Amino acid sequence: MTTRLQRILLLATAGAVALGLGIGIAVWDRHPPDAAALLALSLPDTQGTPQSLRQWRGKVLVVNFWATWCGPCREEMPEFVRAQRELGPKGLQFVGIAVDQPDKVVQFAKELDLNYPALIGGYDAIDLSKSLGNRLAALPFTVIFDREGRIAHTQLGVLKPTQLRSIVAKLL
């Protein structure tokens, strides 16, 4: 590689990194994500039975905020079902928090053969997701916890299968 090309590439990389850093910092919520608040949560499942998130302590927990009225949310869920089936035995646990009506959630869960809990969240759940970094209160929003209950990753928008697998592999 000629020194001239090296210089150009160096400038290009420096520029791109600076830009990426700037945007990353701008987007990060000013308050540190409140992991404890989420893990202390108890929400009803589709049968109305309260389910505390604490029961999954020690697992690699993937909490996915979603709704049936959110197309992208529905699209990413089959992959979650697959990952739950394959990696559940290793300690991976998905929990869906639906900002939705229970009957719609039940219907969709049946269609998908959902193999992980679907809890009903309401708009308080959306407010909680805001405290975790979801500034726009949009869906889908996913928070991944390590086995110690620390937040390892948050994602606004669809979580691509390769990204999900790579994050989770490091934590399991």
Partner 1 sequence: MGVANRRRRDAFLGLAAAATLAATLPALAQVNPLPPEKAFRFSARLVDAQTVEARFIIADGYYLYRDKIHFAIEPAAVGLTVPRLPEGKVKEDQFFGRVETYRGGVVVNLAVKDPKPGQQIVIAAESQGCADIGICYPPTVQRVTLALPAGSIVPDASGDPPQKRWFN
Q: 78 near 164, Cβ under 8 Å?
A: no
Is 140 a binding residue for partner 1 by CB under 8 A? The answer is: yes
- Give whichever of 50 and 78 is closer to partner 1, judged by the CB atom: 78
Give the one residue of 38, 62, 63, 67 binding partner 1; rule: CB under 8 A.
67
Give the one residue of 14, 21, 37, 172 binding partner 1; rule: CB under 8 A.
14
- Shortest gap between Cβ of 149 and partner 1 (angstroms)? 26
Q: What are phi and psi of 154, to 5 degrees?
A: -125, 150
CA gap 79, 153 in Å, rounded: 18
The side-by-side arrangement of strands in the sheet containing 60-66 is 118-120, 92-98, 60-66, 141-145, 151-156
CA gap 94, 140 in Å, rounded: 14
Q: What are phi and psi of 59, to 5 degrees?
A: -90, 165
Is 73 a binding residue for partner 1 by CB under 8 A? The answer is: yes
- Give whichever of 48 and 71 is closer to partner 1, judged by the CB atom: 71
Is 19 a binding residue for partner 1 by CB under 8 A? The answer is: yes
Which residues contact partner 1 by CB under 8 A?
4, 7-16, 19-20, 23-24, 26-27, 67-75, 99, 108, 111, 123, 126, 135-140, 156-158
